Amino acid sequence: MIDAATDRPNRIPWPPLLYGGAILLAMALQRLLPLPDPAPDGALAGWLDPVGWALLMLGAGFDLSAMATMARARANILPHRAATALVESGPFAISRNPIYFGNTLMMAGAGLGLGNLWLIVTGLVAAALVLKLAIEREERHLEAVFGPDWLAYRGRVRRWIGRH
């Protein structure tokens, strides 16, 4: 009999669905109930737009670097499939979830860069839902599969960003 914790963390690939849905919802909300552009012109626009685009690029960097690191380790990247390797290098040395962190940064950056604050709001909601529907389950899965190695890694690296 297969143990559900070691079989796979989820049956549904929640993270891409949630972040994609958050983007679509933000676009719809901006049309229906637009939030004011935080920097329509003037001095604020001079630095908010570049900060937004920098955050978007930083988030994309986290995503791409994490994907490349996982590919080199021959680790499964699909969030609804069993883990095949415990990756602790590259962006995983400073975030246990660099792809989800990167996705959230990209949404916040796009929100600032495009002047659509709904992207920030829905991005944070998506991150909270990913935490509950994916990350917590993935962590139970990783503990079941990798045991003490996972526990040691979890003790060194924070869930979103930083080291203990």
Q: Where are the alpha helices (DSSP H) in the chain?
A: 4-7, 14-32, 42-72, 98-114, 117-130, 136-146, 148-156
pLDDT at position 5 is 61
Q: Each residue of 52-68: pLDDT tens digit?
A: 999 999 999 999 999 99
Q: Label residue 25 exposed, middle or buried (CB < 10 Å: 0-12, 13-18, 19+).
A: middle
Domain boundaries, the chain: 50-164
Q: What's the sign of the alpha-carbon dihedral 64, 162, 7, 133?
A: negative
pLDDT at position 2 is 45
Chunked into runs of 10 residues, the chain (164 residues) has average pLDDT values of: 63 92 98 83 75 97 98 93 95 98 98 93 98 95 96 98 94
- Convert 122-148 into a string of H (helix), E (strand) and C (coil): HHHHHHHHHHHHHHHHHHHHHHHHHCH
pLDDT at position 108 is 97
pLDDT at position 40 is 67
Tell me yes or no: is domain 50-164 CATH 1.20.120.1630: yes
